[in-house]
A and B are shown apart, each in its own frame.
Chain A
Amino acid sequence: MKITFLELEDNYAKVLFENTTPYFVNAIRRTLISDVPKLAIENVTIYDNTSALFDEIIAHRLGMIPLPTHLDLLVFREECSCNGKGCPNCTVHYTLSKEGSCTVYSGDLRPEDAMWAVKDKNIPIVKLLKDQRLILEAEAQLGTGKQHAKWQAVCGIGYKYYPVIEIDSEKCNLCNECVEICPRKVLEIKKKKLDVKNVEECILCKSCEEVCKRDAIKVKGDENRIIMQYETDGSLSAKEVLMEALKILHKKYDELEKKL
């Protein structure tokens, strides 16, 4: 199997898998969604809240803020040597204290150590008017997407077969209808010949196939080449998250092999 990053940003990746099968790529996808651990706020102690939002709404909003996750430094709380009481190996503490009038942002969460500081500092949590106050303490711990969506490191993940567009230039009469109907503008007419401009953009909708009266176009998906696309919420980078998923999958297959 060959893996190539077609596009790679901090929080976004488009990956091409070659010589593979849909079952395998789907296993990776499901591991990414439900098994990769990340850090999120789980317990919130509110000391004072005179804002317009209820304590529960504020706690809920805090839970969804992506926190930087250093997986080598943390263990799951249930598996920790502290027996779930909470210690520096399994729990990260944050404090927040603000008085209006102002907007409370995610960047106002003060971590116990600078390395846990929230990267995305501009997420509004609540707005405070003059004399309104918000004072709280939050505990973050590791979890997986299986337990709750706030612990899901990736979002908008999906894959498609690699598009294969076959054009029969003998049948084609350059009517231009397929070029116009394509929602991704994949086709073009160049030097009196129908050509494919950017195959990877094709979403296999087959509108061009349907609109062609002379059957000159065939769109197929190659099951052995798969393009996967995903974003992360920023707690882990796009590359880290894929590496972690592959590690987890590897461990699972190992366990299965041992039990056989």
Chain B
Amino acid sequence: MIIPVRCFTCGKVLGSLFEEYKKRVYIEGENPKKVLDDLKIRRYCCRRTIISHPVFVKGKEVKEPIDEAAQYE
């Protein structure tokens, strides 16, 4: 799937924040806690939505399940 536009629980907009999270955590290897704090994601409902979103890291590329699904459409 693709990253949810908003947090399931509280409704905070997360879609735009995930782009930066993806780059900093999966490519640059930063500590997820630090990135979440920097992005001002305060509540644990939003934090779990971001950290539990599945991705495939292929070298310098971070793919989401939708990228795989799109090929079979």
Contact = CB atoms under 8 A, between A and B. Distances in A.
Given A53-B66, A155-B11, A61 B5 contact: yes
B70 A132 contact: yes
Contacts of A61: 5
A64 B6 contact: yes
Contact of A124 (B11, B12, B15): B15
B12 A51 contact: no
Interface residues of A, number: 27
Interface majority SS (helix, strand, loop, mixed), chain A: loop
Interface residues of B, number: 23
A122 B16 contact: yes
A120 B16 CA distance: 7
Contacts of B43: 156
A119 to B, nearest CB: 10
Contact of A127 (B5, B13, B18, B67): B67
B46 to A, nearest CB: 8
Contact of B12 (A50, A121, A123, A231): A231
A91 interface: no
A127 B68 CA distance: 11
A233 B12 contact: yes
Contacts of A65: 5
A51 to B, nearest CB: 7
Report the 3 A-B pairs with minimum CB-CB distance, sorted nearest first: A123-B15, A122-B16, A155-B11
Given A53-B66, A127-B66, A155-B12, 11 more contacts: A12-B40, A52-B66, A53-B2, A64-B6, A127-B64, A132-B70, A149-B11, A152-B11, A156-B10, A156-B42, A156-B43
